[in-house]
Amino acid sequence: MKQQRIEIIHDFPQSVEKVFAWIGNHNNLGEIFFPFTVTRIKDGQGDVNGVGSVRKLSAFPLIPVEETVTAFTPNQLIEYTVTSKLAPIKEHLGVMQFESYNGGTRLRYTITFKGVVPLLGPVLKVGLGQGIKRGLSKLAKKSL
DSSP string covering 49-69: TSTT-EEEEE-TTSPPEEEEE
CATH code of the domain made up of 4-140: 3.30.530.20
pLDDT value at residue 59: 86
pLDDT value at residue 23: 96
For residue 77, what pLDDT band results from cuts at 50, 70 and 90?
very high
What are the structural domain ranges in the chain?
4-140
Pair 137, 30: CB distance under 8 Å: no
**Overall average pLDDT of the 69-87 stretch:** 95
pLDDT value at residue 105: 97
Share of the chain above pLDDT 70, in %: 100
pLDDT for residue 43 is more than 80: yes
